[in-house]
A and B are shown apart, each in its own frame.
Chain A
Amino acid sequence: MTSAMPPRWAEILLHLVLDSKDQATVSGDLLEEFRDSIRPTRGPSAANGWYIRQVIGFVVRSNVVPALLFGGAFVARTAMDWLWPPANFHTRSLISTLVAVSILLVSGFFASWKSGSILAGGLSGLTTTALAAIMSTVSVLALLAIWHDAPTLQAIEDSGGLSEVFFLPLMSIVPGVLFGATGGVAGTAVHWSMRRSS
């Protein structure tokens, strides 16, 4: 038996994405497998890699729904701007911004409500926007492969150009962390008030 520990930061990430009732049991399961089976057979660095991959799986899994919603909203907005360009972008921008902020606030709230940590909200915002950036980049490339006639290319230019389409999802990562953490403040408050009352 070994007393070796996996990377501390990975254990912290794991705790942030788990329901508070599962934190000790699931991290115990992974630690037991890490010490009993993975490290003795694969060696220290491969075992750390295994542990990190498992944690990334938990992180992605816990944010896949808000990421799909966030990325889907961005792609839908992009497709609308390309195919049905409006005279004035103000209303669309306002609606899509409100939708994006709401998704981040709500996912941050639930992440922190589950785990009991404000950091979980920030992590949720980070993961949601990062996954959505990957998803929207791939989707926009697919849209471009389908629609690249002259009127559509003109509509793309009029709506801010291709650079905006590819950079906006990346630029939303920092605000995503902030909005996720803001939702997380409320989620943490509800988590602890519910625990106190029970």
Chain B
Amino acid sequence: MADVLGNFEQAVLLSVLRLGEDAYGRAIFNEVQARLDRDVAAGAVHATLNRLEGKRLLTSTLGPGTEVRAGRPRRYYKLSSPGARALHEARAAVNNLWRGFRGPLKGRV
């Protein structure tokens, strides 16, 4: 079984997946905020990226800097095979929770 992912970890991994070749720190930070529809701390995203890389769910490479970054390099992230497996299992777990439920939620939330 792959790693069990928390919600924030899933948001970060999905952002990396969605951004594809453009998945570097700032872009992931903005994508996570847009998807979660709230402000998040850059430190939280950075810590999660480091943790996911430590678990080998992500890999990273350095890219060149740009003028707006004062020439500082970008770190690009890519989903690894274990990362893709962990995301797939997280989605399957949620689908499993909802399977067969047909009752209306309207009026209960």
Contacts and interface: CB of A to CB of B under 8 A. Distances in A.
B43 A1 contact: no
B72 A24 contact: yes
B43 A58 contact: yes
B65 A28 contact: yes
A162 interface: no
Contacts of B24: 29
A25 B72 contact: yes
A34 to B, nearest CB: 9
B89 to A, nearest CB: 28
A32 B26 contact: yes
B70 interface: yes
Q: What is the predominant secondary structure among interface residues of chain B facing chain A?
A: helix
A60 B73 CA distance: 25
Contacts of B62: 25
B73 to A, nearest CB: 6
Nearest to A54: B42
A37 B26 CA distance: 11
- Which of the four size classes fits the interface of chain B? 20 to 34
Interface string A44-65: 0000000001100110110000
A12 to B, nearest CB: 15
A33 B29 contact: yes
Contacts, number: 66
B46 A26 contact: yes
B68 A35 contact: yes
A145 B5 CA distance: 38
Contact of B72 (A19, A27, A54): A27
Given A22-B46, A29-B24, A32-B69, A57 B74 contact: no
Interface residues of A, number: 22
B94 interface: no
Interface of A: 1, 19, 22, 24-33, 35-37, 53-54, 57-58, 60-61
Contacts of B26: 29-30, 32-33
A31 B26 CA distance: 9
Interface in B29-73: 29-30, 41-44, 46-47, 50, 62, 65-70, 72-73
B41 to A, nearest CB: 4
* 8 interchain residue pairs of minimum CB distance: A28-B72, A29-B25, A57-B43, A28-B69, A57-B41, A29-B26, A58-B43, A25-B75
Contact of A61 (B47, B66, B72): B47
Given A24-B73, A25-B75, A32 B68 contact: yes
Nearest to B76: A25
B29 A25 contact: no
A58 B46 contact: yes
B42 A29 contact: yes
Most chain B CB within a 10 A radius of its CB, from A1, A19, A29, A30: A29
